[in-house]
Amino acid sequence: MDCIFCKIVSKEMKSDIVYENDMILAFKDINPQAPVHHLIVPKKHISSMSDCSSEDSEIIIELFLRAKEIAENTPELEGGYRLVINNGKEAGQEVFHLHLHLLGGRRMSWPPG
């Protein structure tokens, strides 16, 4: 399978890792959209949110709780942060390995583009 995030997880491809445990990996986005822009991915390949099932519930909880923990340990995010999952092409998903965007360090606008 030719998945860039699987390659990042297996360390076949380089990334700037900010956190890792047995279930998830967090690394800096290569094209940051904010002063802080991390991606948090499950080590298991799941293509998108649509492909999650209840058997992945532990992974989903882990993604969100670790994102919160990383945010709490990042001084630039003291004032707030945004968590985003793009699901499907129409929503802007480009990499089909589930990932949570952790964004912040600047004022965010709403609605998103």
Which residues are the active-site residues? 99
Q: Closer to ligand AMP at the Cβ: 78 or 88? A: 88
Each as own residue / partner, the long-range contacts of residues 84-90 (CB below 8 Å, 24 or more positions apart, any chain) are 84/112, 85/49, 87/48, 87/49, 87/50, 88/48, 88/50
59 binds, among Zn ion, ligand AMP, none (CB under 5 to 8 A by kind): none
Per-residue x/- marks for ligand AMP, 68-107, CB under 6 A? ------------------x-----xxxx------------
83 binds, among ligand AMP, Zn ion, none (CB under 5 to 8 A by kind): none
Q: Is 29 in the site for ligand AMP (CB under 6 A)?
A: yes
Q: Closer to Zn ion at the Cβ: 3 or 52? A: 3
| Cβ 112 vs Cβ 93: under 8 Å | no
Q: Give the shortest CB-85-to-ligand AMP separation in angstroms.
A: 7
Q: Is 59 in the site for Zn ion (CB under 5 A)?
A: no
94 binds, among Zn ion, ligand AMP, none (CB under 5 to 8 A by kind): ligand AMP
